Structure 1
Amino acid sequence: MRKTIKFNPLAVGVMLACGASFAYAEPQLEEVTVTAQKREQSLQEVPVAVSAIGEAQLMENGISDMTELQKMSPNTTLQVSRGTNSTLTAFIRGIGQQDPLWGYEPGVGIYIDDVYIARPQGAVMDVFDVERIEVLRGPQGTLYGKNTIGGAVKYVTKKMTGDTEISIGSALGSYNQRDLKLKASTGLTENLNIGAAIASFNRDGFGENVITGEDQYNKDILAARVSLEYSPTEALFFRFAADKTTDKSASKHGHRFDPGVNGEPVLDSVYDTESNLPSDNLVETSGMSFTAEWQLSDSVTVKSVTASREGESDTVIDFDSVNTPSFDVPAIYDDEQFTQEFQLIWQGENADLVSGIYYYDGTASGAYDAVLAPISVAVNGSVDTQSLSAYAHYNWQFADQWNLNLGGRYTKDDKEADVYNAVIAGLGSDFSHDKYYADSAAPIVAAVRTDYTNSDSWGEFTPRVGIDYQLSNDAMLYATYSTGFKSGGFDMRGVETANPLTREGYAPETVDTMEFGWKLDLLANRLRLNGALFRADYTDMQLTTQRLLDDGTTAGDVLNAGKSRIQGIELEASLALTDNLSANANLGWVDAEFIEFMSGGENIADTRDMQNTPDTTAMIQLNWSLPVAGGEMVIVPSASYRSDTQIFETPSILDQEGYTLVDLTATYYSPDGNWNLGLQGKNLTDTEYRIAGYDFGPSLQTGFYGAPRTIALTGSYNF
């Protein structure tokens, strides 16, 4: 492993404090607008721990997809899931989802505008045609509902102006990177605007399959979006939007730490693999939405958001990473969802209300074969979910400097699951045999271990109570109590012959969080210092366990097996040092521990730790702008740190030591503002770091890694 550079998070505060002495001008920080509470507000007025990254900041930091946002938000993990290219693993404040299996709900909600993305497949979205991205930390159960138990990430697109605007952008870089973005919008009439964007992201692999010569860790994505906006009057606004993304990037197989099951040597490069499987992989996601807003009066607005989305995946994972079918997993996924939300927003003289009704109807289905030559385990099934909720969030300024926040949401979930699990004599079942193992004997069902249909319902009320105090126009303190829950369900991998209770499913998990925070603009709006102290009590945790059965296969159980306590602090700071030099920093610290982790009737909490939750995350960057050739050059160096990270609850060879990533970007804006050129260097120290893995014991431990050093030349032109 390459040597990593350590980073002391305490340097964040020291550098900011020292930086104040360099301020010779009277610069000010810009106001940031967010919609964290489903209406436009200043970031400094919102009693919520939220990070907002605007369009310019995204470009000047070279952020190309959602996973790179984790450095911009403390106590946040956003990673590409193991063995995939576009499936998201998201954790905020220790709460999230490791397992992307269909029917297993995420713990961090992903939104495009007001539309919830129910499944993690395809959620590693590339950043294009976006105004800003907001990361909300802590449970958002009142306004955003179930499955935002850890927080939420929101893509926010901007309304069109009606002017004819065309822009083209591209990037050329390491590993034959070839990106192209095209965006255009125009006004068809005075009140009707149309816009479209298309983007192609291509890159050769960081490694290869040494058996087939095919790429590993490459990129082959095509994405498009179209929107139509109509405003017949000042009080009415309608928007139709549609998008589609096709990801043909090669499936990823992991790096072995030990010789393979047949004695195969460990490969030199962590990005290489030795697999008998091809790299065929296809993930397609698409969706449509229709938004209608009607401003009934100066104080009342009603809003409707109707949306449908679907996704399909066809992929393969080689768990053993050797040239034999000793542990291959071909898999397919198929997801559909329909959502409808009605909102009523009222703004009074000293009070306001956001309320609504939300309906979700979705189906998540899939199938996979665990090929363990000479047998296989075939798993398939589906989960139908109907969810209905009603919510209200009321804010009352009961005194000149005091606000009271009251909110609540009641959610009713109904689920029906079909689950099938069988041992197959042969390689693969009907859906994968002909594609991957056609030269072997035809598969025969040897034993059906699970075959049931069952349903269940859960209802949950998630309240929120908060109070905030405006010390001055530039300083606010707040305290909140909020709750969230993640829906219950049925284990798609459950083996009923080994655990008859699997057909009963598992219950929701819940979290109760206390938070004390502050929003400060100091030094005549030159220093912005936001922060939060929090404590969360996490109960009925849904934990995935694996055990070896007598026939040599494994059984996975999803159980309500745990309780944990999570507490910590988050700091975010921005300092305008001079008119052309500013500094941004964040620091997150989490103390997360299991109180209860039940296994076989025994509490083994002392032997387990929270996964994907480094106790310290930090980032510091400078933003330096200077005049060059009549235009402006913006230079952004940054360093982001993540302390030791445990990939699973049980310590293993997969665990990643603390590391620092160093990035540097330089962007030149032309004098007329019509074009820009940029140079982006990421992971300049070429640090090697793991982001995911599988652990099935010796010879079956594989890791997946973040990107090595890359350099890209970017540019865009506005017509």
Structure 2
Amino acid sequence: MIISKKTPLAIAIAVAGVVTSGHTLAQDAKPVLEEVLVTAQKREQNLQETPISISAFDAQALKDQGIADIEDVSNYVPNVQIAESPGGSTGATIGIRGSVTVNPAITWEPTVGIYMDGVFIAKNVGGIFDVAELERIEILRGPQGTLYGKNTVGGAVNLVTRKPGDEFAGTVKIGGGNFGYTEGFVSIDSGVLAEQLRVNVAVSKKDRDGFYNNTSVDPQAADKFKELDSTAARLAAAYQLSEALEIYYTYDWANKDNTPSFPQYEPAGSKTERRKNGAVNGVKYDKSENNGHALHISYDMGDMMLKSITALREMSFDDSNDYDGSDFTGFHAERHVEHEQLSQEFQLVGSIGSVDIVGGLFYFNEKADIDNPYFAYGPANPPTAPTATNNRINNFYGSESTSIAIFGQADWHITEQLTLSAGLRWTEEEKDQYIEHVLAYSDDALTGINLASDVTLLPYTTSNETWSNTTPSLIISYQLQEDVSVYAKAAQGWKSGGFNGEADTAAIAQTPYDEETVTSYELGMKARSFNQRLQSNIALFQNDIEDLQLSEFVGASGYSQIQNAGQATIQGLEIEILAALAEGLNLNVNYGYLDAEYDEFISYGMDIKDSAKFPYTPEQKASVGLEYVRNLSAGEFSARVDWSYTDDFDVYHDKDAAALTTVEAFEVVNARISLSEIALGKGNTRLEMALWGKNLTDEEYRLNGIPFTQAGYAVNYYGDPRTYGVEASLSF
């Protein structure tokens, strides 16, 4: 079922009107909304006192709303789109307020930064992974830089994991569902050991059969599409060396051994329809492994806290995908990626009189090597020789990037009501890249020739460039009443230029694309009323973008490249409402609106501003959630249902590519029912049992796709079908 485009806005306004009218929220009622704490500005703050557009999900919300990884957040946050990248289940395409990196190429910068416990995660390949002991997710909308190690133009996703507790405790969870889904989770806190050492160990395991059957005759092809085999583990140790000095170490590891998504072959004009079966011979594996060490050292100097964050992360990624969507070898590709990053950040956080300050020094280095062979334009594959009838292009490329930055922000509390915040960031980034293409062999029937040796198509080519930039931010916030504040914000975000790692000529490989700059203006209000029973957060913004970096898939050559759109303007609105309707009954309503247009877009000598599309920019997006909690004699009963709506949007800026891959408007309904706090014995042992369901209406909707405009078709990828299951957890 798809509803009218105008319906989400009407629902959001209508619900807001009912909630704020006073008929639903009686002044003398008892229930109130809880305080939400965030660390978006490097210090613990009340969400309502943070003058930026931010959405936060604590551990209870993550559980109640079925948020297993960052992709699930997309349903509940206005003007945020998060989806698996085309073809795989471990790469993330993240768009905030129309800023997005469509292709997760390892040589390109992400538009939205992902941080785990303050550590920047460099690439969107491998960006969707399980995190054991996730305590909170914060979504920051708009440019980030004066408070963060890495400068990002779209926003930031903060993943905050739980620190070890002071008491010996643990949680064990098991669950299962349709499509053969099983999960298990164990977490143990040691409590305080000798000399103030606290340790937590957590392990998570998830498995699921594929959603769709692959009927290919090729024995090397996967039997099912989108099988899940995911394992994650985390070790955290906090050591209080003295009253002033704490050392905190974490190690996280995540491994996925999945099969790729179903690439549905769809010629121009095809109906949006999710199929259950297909014969696709190039779909084989979709694997990723992430691990990271992070050492946090905090030294309390009274009014100031000096922090050091040293982190080393490694990621490997391997997939084999089919981009013709058939049991013939038209165009297949593999990716084998090795990536490592090293970062060092120093922060000084504290207060001097009426001024709160955050200052930072940041160093970052990353290296990546990619083996990206593809097989193209061959006749049918006999199972006995799966690749013997195709041209094989061995595409090798890699990059190294080094970034240094100085950043800081000062918040001057001029009066109890008025605060002026100013920030500045200087960044320099250097990038080196190499690339080489080799034709491994050719087939007689296809080309008429038989090559006895490899042929170099693109000789080993290197590129180097350095970019630097200074970006400011300014925020004025004023507290109108005790629980009502307004703010005005102007900030710049910057993303360095780079090189096209998938280029097919030396000229393209050595020609850098330009850096991107976003100047953002935002007006916001954060309010609580009706005796802490209604929370209303509203933001209006405008982003002026210069040299917008856009990915273009060149289907005929089998690679993607970045184009710069000269100037663009994105305007929007965000409304987030929380209401305690009655004792145990809470409502949330979110609404986002985007209006995006190009002011100038010169492509191959022509201005295409009137025909080019904006990727991942639905005009309207809305969600409504209703939760009921009641204490029973057996425990605490909780029931929650969430509905979300996403307007239609395009995946690519090229109008022909967009037409083949357009995502039509869709709705998703999720729900969860649980009985928790069931006492077992006389101690603190508690049992929780739950039923959950996702996409309960079994909505069929596209996520994205890969277009071949010259051939007049695309392979498109769809959202998951209806899933449901049960779980039980024991805490002690």
> For 1:653, which of 660, 669, 672 is the aligned residue?
660
> For 2:243, which of 213, 231, 234 is the aligned residue?
234
Structure 1 position 294 matched with structure 2 position 294: no
Change (3 A) 1:441 1:631: farther
Q: Tell me which moved more, 203-212 or 615-624.
A: 203-212
Structure 1 position 21 matched with structure 2 position 28: no
Whole-angstrom distance in 2 between the partners of 1:443 and 1:230:
63
Give the TM-score of the pair, scaled to structure 1.
0.93
Query: Cα distance, 1:528 vs. partner?
Result: 0.5
Structure 1 position 216 matched with structure 2 position 225: yes
> For 1:509, which of 516, 535, 538 is the aligned residue?
516
Q: Tell me which moved more, 633-642 or 124-133.
A: 124-133
Whole-angstrom distance in 2 between the partners of 1:217 and 1:556:
24
Query: Cα distance, 1:647 vs. partner?
Result: 1.4
> For 2:501, which of 492, 496, 503 is the aligned residue?
492
> For 2:479, which of 470, 473, 479 is the aligned residue?
470
Whole-angstrom distance in 2 between the partners of 1:376 and 1:505:
27
- Do the aligned partners of 2:114 and 2:121 also contact (CA within 8 Å) in 1? yes
SS state at 1:606 partner: coil
Matches within 5 A, 1:600-639: 600-639=604-643
- Do the aligned partners of 2:356 and 2:411 also contact (CA within 8 Å) in 1? yes
- Do the aligned partners of 2:426 and 2:468 also contact (CA within 8 Å) in 1? yes
Whole-angstrom distance in 1 between the partners of 2:230 and 2:180:
14
Change (3 A) 1:93 1:271: farther
Change (3 A) 1:191 1:452: same
SS state at 2:66 partner: coil
Deviations 1:191-217, CA, capped at 9 Å, x for gaps: 001111100011111102111561112
- Do the aligned partners of 1:419 and 1:453 also contact (CA within 8 Å) in 2? yes
Tell me what 1:692 maps to: 704
- Do the aligned partners of 1:145 and 1:484 also contact (CA within 8 Å) in 2? no
RMSD of equivalent CA atoms? 2.1
Tell me what 1:388 maps to: 404
Whole-angstrom distance in 2 between the partners of 1:555 and 1:16:
47
Tell me what 2:647 maps to: 643
Whole-angstrom distance in 2 between the partners of 1:660 and 1:464:
37
Matches within 5 A, 1:200-349: 200-211=205-216, 214-258=223-267, 270-277=275-282, 279-297=284-302, 299-349=303-353
Tell me what 1:58 maps to: 62
Query: Cα distance, 1:659 vs. partner?
Result: 1.3
Query: Cα distance, 1:401 vs. partner?
Result: 1.4
Query: Cα distance, 1:271 vs. partner?
Result: 4.9
SS state at 1:131 partner: strand
SS state at 1:10 partner: helix
Query: Cα distance, 1:34 vs. partner?
Result: 0.5
Tell me what 2:386 maps to: none
- Do the aligned partners of 2:501 and 2:509 also contact (CA within 8 Å) in 1? no
Q: Tell me which moved more, 648-657 or 21-30.
A: 21-30
Q: Tell me which moved more, 619-628 or 132-141.
A: 619-628
Structure 1 position 41 matched with structure 2 position 45: yes
Whole-angstrom distance in 2 between the partners of 1:355 and 1:267:
50
> For 1:703, which of 711, 716, 719 is the aligned residue?
716
Tell me what 2:682 maps to: none
Query: Cα distance, 1:17 vs. partner?
Result: 3.3
- Do the aligned partners of 2:130 and 2:230 also contact (CA within 8 Å) in 1? no
Amino acid at match of 2:415: A
> For 1:674, which of 676, 686, 698 is the aligned residue?
686
Whole-angstrom distance in 2 between the partners of 1:473 and 1:350:
19
Amino acid at match of 1:114: G
> For 1:110, which of 111, 114, 136 is the aligned residue?
114
Task: Give percent identity, aligned residues only.
Answer: 30
- Do the aligned partners of 1:569 and 1:589 also contact (CA within 8 Å) in 2? yes
Whole-angstrom distance in 1 between the partners of 2:600 and 2:519:
16
Query: Cα distance, 1:556 vs. partner?
Result: 4.1
> For 1:416, which of 416, 425, 432 is the aligned residue?
432
SS state at 2:163 partner: coil
Query: Cα distance, 1:587 vs. partner?
Result: 0.5
Whole-angstrom distance in 1 between the partners of 2:150 and 2:222:
44
Query: Cα distance, 1:605 vs. partner?
Result: 1.1
Deviations 1:201-260, CA, capped at 9 Å, x for gaps: 11111102111561112211111111111012232211111011110011234111149x
- Do the aligned partners of 1:546 and 1:556 also contact (CA within 8 Å) in 2? yes
Amino acid at match of 1:207: Y
SS state at 1:57 partner: helix
SS state at 1:225 partner: strand
Deviations 1:412-453, CA, capped at 9 Å, x for gaps: 1011111223444338xxxxxxxxxxxx98884334235311
- Do the aligned partners of 2:132 and 2:232 also contact (CA within 8 Å) in 1? no
Matches within 5 A, 1:131-146: 131-146=135-150
Change (3 A) 1:480 1:23: closer
Gaps of 5+ in 2: 379-389, 444-448, 680-684
Q: Tell me which moved more, 225-234 or 17-26.
A: 17-26
Whole-angstrom distance in 2 between the partners of 1:278 and 1:565:
39
> For 1:534, which of 541, 544, 551 is the aligned residue?
541
Tell me what 1:432 maps to: none
Change (3 A) 1:68 1:546: closer
Deviations 1:551-599, CA, capped at 9 Å, x for gaps: x635643232332100011010101111211101110001011222221
SS state at 1:68 partner: helix
Whole-angstrom distance in 1 between the partners of 2:188 and 2:485:
41
- Do the aligned partners of 1:140 and 1:151 also contact (CA within 8 Å) in 2? yes
Amino acid at match of 1:43: L
- Do the aligned partners of 1:49 and 1:137 also contact (CA within 8 Å) in 2? yes
SS state at 1:8 partner: helix
Whole-angstrom distance in 2 between the partners of 1:346 and 1:459:
28
- Do the aligned partners of 2:567 and 2:599 also contact (CA within 8 Å) in 1? yes
Whole-angstrom distance in 2 between the partners of 1:310 and 1:441:
41
- Do the aligned partners of 1:107 and 1:147 also contact (CA within 8 Å) in 2? no
Amino acid at match of 1:353: I
Structure 1 position 167 matched with structure 2 position 175: no
Whole-angstrom distance in 1 between the partners of 2:558 and 2:129:
33
Query: Cα distance, 1:655 vs. partner?
Result: 0.7
Deviations 1:1-49, CA, capped at 9 Å, x for gaps: xx44555332123234334534452211111110111111111111110
Amino acid at match of 1:581: L
Whole-angstrom distance in 2 between the partners of 1:351 and 1:326:
63
Change (3 A) 1:592 1:457: same
Amino acid at match of 1:701: A
Whole-angstrom distance in 2 between the partners of 1:74 and 1:127:
24
Whole-angstrom distance in 2 between the partners of 1:181 and 1:370:
39
Query: Cα distance, 1:496 vs. partner?
Result: 2.4
Matches within 5 A, 1:69-84: 69-84=73-88
Query: Cα distance, 1:109 vs. partner?
Result: 0.2
- Do the aligned partners of 2:112 and 2:155 also contact (CA within 8 Å) in 1? yes
Query: Cα distance, 1:80 vs. partner?
Result: 0.8
Whole-angstrom distance in 2 between the partners of 1:300 and 1:193:
24
Change (3 A) 1:333 1:515: same
Change (3 A) 1:267 1:76: closer
